[in-house]
Structure 1
Amino acid sequence: MCYHCRPSRRSFTTLLAAGVGMAALAGCTPDTPVASPTAAPSPSGPQTATPTPTVATTTPVPATAGSQPPPSGAPPSKAPPSGVLSRQFSLSDPTSQWVIVNKHRPLAPLQFVPADLVQPRLQLAVSGEASLLNSTTAGAAEKLFAAAASAGATMTLASGYRSFQTQTATYNGYVNTRGQASADTASARPGFSEHQTGWAFDIGDGGGACSFEPCFTDQPSAVWAKANAHKYGFVVRYPWMLHEITGYYYEPWHLRFIGVEAATDMANRGIATLEEYFGLEAAPGYL
């Protein structure tokens, strides 16, 4: 999710509403609040307090031996990962590379801090806590960035780890100026951001073009990441036009580490969201 969102999103909202654009709005935490796009997904139900964490204990279910194939013409099943994966990980433990954080699944504990934050050896566009990742993600990101550079796509780390305190200050600023309903379309609630886990980060293009703007999708780093990130264990967490599942509009800059095996399995099976891959309910808004 983006960190320094740009006001130019407002003009893009019109295109999204017309069905021809891709809204960049997500659970981001920009430095300067911008007007809330009318096409942004709205949380459902009352919004008077942060919900009590409800940690799911879903475990990927192995495929049943001898199961019947779908009828001819039926869409392929998007079941949770099966026994083809050599290892399984928790979906609720924030130290797990498969932890799922969305508008229905807060971190537990809400103020989780990764114990192994490090600064990766990457081209940085940020400093301080935003330049940090957990050690596993950092190592994988170094390989990802090196491969992209070899292919002529220079990446920068535009936003990494974000603490609960940072997210709280930013989110509260939105609530105070715009109200909670509007804030929920522009900033993740504290404890509901993937950035807090250390497993996710935003990329920029080496030339600095289109940072956190819709046109970033056409920059070399975004094009290369979309096609190749799975080879290094990453997925584009918020894909195009799947905000009714993920809760956030397309963010070609937001990458999430889940491991090479799972990311490649998702790519091979044509599954775009972690919610679908792990058999979880859609999370378009807060409960």
Structure 2
Amino acid sequence: MCHDCVAGGPSGASRRSFTRFLAAGAGLTVLAACTPEAPAGVPPSSSSAAPAVTSQVPSPVAAPSVESTTAAVEPPPQAPVPPSATLPRQFSLTDPASPWLVVNKHRPLSPADYVPADLVHPNVRLAVSGEAALLNSTTAVAAEAMFAAAAHDGVSITLASGYRSYGTQVATYNGYVATRGQADADTASARPGYSEHQSGWSFDIGDGGGACGFQPCFADQPAAVWAKANGHRFGFVVRYPWMFHPITGYYYEPWHLRYLGVEAATDMAARGISTAEEYFGVDAAPAYA
């Protein structure tokens, strides 16, 4: 609100003086003072500089609108910057050979039948054989370091499921559908082409004692407790944490670890960020699109 505007003309002025005041253009200046900015090129008027008065009172001049005197335009809203953007090294979120690859129910692998070019057998304690004992070379090196550190702390971790090919995922997913129905299967198993296991960046762990494998009670086993607390030191996160299924699309899997690199995993832990979706700034994927 303008607190300097005159509502009824100068106090005590005669009708003729008030007419002269308007004719001088002072009315325009006073009204313009109620807008954020006076029009450019209009000097302030005064009673001593007023031009000669005609016999008729001129028609009132409308004050310029706020729109006409305001040139600033609101900038378009910008997308929020994801937490991962603060790291000095950036990686692709879509390249399956990238440690920052984000695979979920909205983001399939491309190509769907992708096979890592560098699958190897890590030197760790295995609870499986065949392709399930494979990881990509980067993940394998990190897993070896993590398993060794856990053993040093008296905790035995086993590799329970590593790489899973497209064909294997077809059989795995169809098995869930046959026994549990598709709706329930979609909360427990990825559709073919949507599995992190196929990328070589993920694997499932077991406890050396063999208890609670792939069951909710695994969360309380030494292997799960140690991996959750220390995995980030080696580049790993629990990919599907407790109570974050509306974001990840999967219920809690304390056995499913994902390699993101030490920098990203440590930054996530320090910030208290639980999911890759939040950290990398991609949409939640509670269900298939």
Give me the TM-score of the superposition, normalised by structure 2: 0.70
Deviation at 1:173, TM superposition (A): 3.3
Structure with greater Cα Rg: 2
Name the counterpart of 1:229. Answer: 231
Provide the C-alpha distance between the structure 2 equivalents of 1:183 and 1:269, rounded to a whole number of angstroms. 32
Name the counterpart of 2:83. Answer: 80
Gapped runs of 5+ residues in structure 2? 1-78
**1:149 aligned residue (144, 147, 151):** 151
Please give the secondary structure, in 2, of the residue aligned with 1:256: strand
**2:199 aligned residue (197, 200, 215):** 197
| RMSD value, Cα | 1.5
- The count of residues paired between Structure 1 and Structure 2 equals 211
Q: Is the 8 A contact 2:121 2:140 kept in 1?
A: yes
AA paired with 1:81? S
Name the counterpart of 2:220. Answer: 218
Please give the secondary structure, in 1, of the residue aligned with 2:253: coil
Provide the C-alpha distance between the structure 2 equivalents of 1:223 and 1:177, rounded to a whole number of angstroms. 31
Q: Is the 8 A contact 2:232 2:265 kept in 1?
A: yes
CA offsets, 1:13-38, max 9 Å, x none?
A: xxxxxxxxxxxxxxxxxxxxxxxxxx
Provide the C-alpha distance between the structure 2 equivalents of 1:251 and 1:230, rounded to a whole number of angstroms. 16
Change (3 A) 1:178 1:214: closer
Deviation at 1:81, TM superposition (A): 1.3
Deviation at 1:181, TM superposition (A): 2.8
Provide the C-alpha distance between the structure 1 equivalents of 2:248 and 2:80, rounded to a whole number of angstroms. 24
Name the counterpart of 2:110. Answer: 108
Change (3 A) 1:131 1:173: same
Q: Is the 8 A contact 2:188 2:251 kept in 1?
A: no
**1:171 aligned residue (170, 173, 183):** 173
Deviation at 1:186, TM superposition (A): 3.0
AA paired with 2:249? G
Q: Is the 8 A contact 1:204 1:221 kept in 2?
A: yes
Change (3 A) 1:86 1:202: same
**2:98 aligned residue (87, 93, 96):** 96
Deviation at 1:172, TM superposition (A): 2.5
Name the counterpart of 1:283. Answer: 285
Change (3 A) 1:253 1:173: closer
Q: Is the 8 A contact 2:187 2:249 kept in 1?
A: no
Name the counterpart of 1:244. Answer: 246
AA paired with 1:200? S
CA offsets, 1:38-76, max 9 Å, x none?
A: xxxxxxxxxxxxxxxxxxxxxxx996xxxxxxxxxxxxx
Name the counterpart of 1:273. Answer: 275
AA paired with 1:192? Y
Provide the C-alpha distance between the structure 2 equivalents of 1:239 and 1:165, rounded to a whole number of angstroms. 27
Gapped runs of 5+ residues in structure 1? 1-60, 64-78
AA paired with 1:82? A
Give me the TM-score of the superposition, normalised by structure 1: 0.71
**1:206 aligned residue (183, 205, 208):** 208
Deviation at 1:176, TM superposition (A): 4.5
CA offsets, 1:204-223, max 9 Å, x none?
A: 00110111111111111111
Q: Select between 261-270 and 172-181 the one with higher mean Cα deviation.
A: 172-181
Name the counterpart of 2:17. Answer: none
AA paired with 2:153? A
Deviation at 1:188, TM superposition (A): 1.0
Change (3 A) 1:213 1:109: same
CA offsets, 1:243-281, max 9 Å, x none?
A: 000001111111000000010000011100000001111
Name the counterpart of 1:6. Answer: none
AA paired with 2:275? T
**Identity fraction in percent:** 74
Higher relative contact order (CA 8 A, sep 6+): 1
Please give the secondary structure, in 1, of the residue aligned with 2:285: coil
Name the counterpart of 1:45. Answer: none
Provide the C-alpha distance between the structure 1 equivalents of 2:278 and 2:168, rounded to a whole number of angstroms. 30
AA paired with 1:263? A
Q: Is the 8 A contact 2:83 2:281 kept in 1?
A: yes
Deviation at 1:169, TM superposition (A): 1.7
Deviation at 1:152, TM superposition (A): 1.0
Deviation at 1:110, TM superposition (A): 0.3
Deviation at 1:170, TM superposition (A): 2.2
Q: Is the 8 A contact 1:62 1:81 kept in 2?
A: no
Q: Is the 8 A contact 2:231 2:237 kept in 1?
A: yes
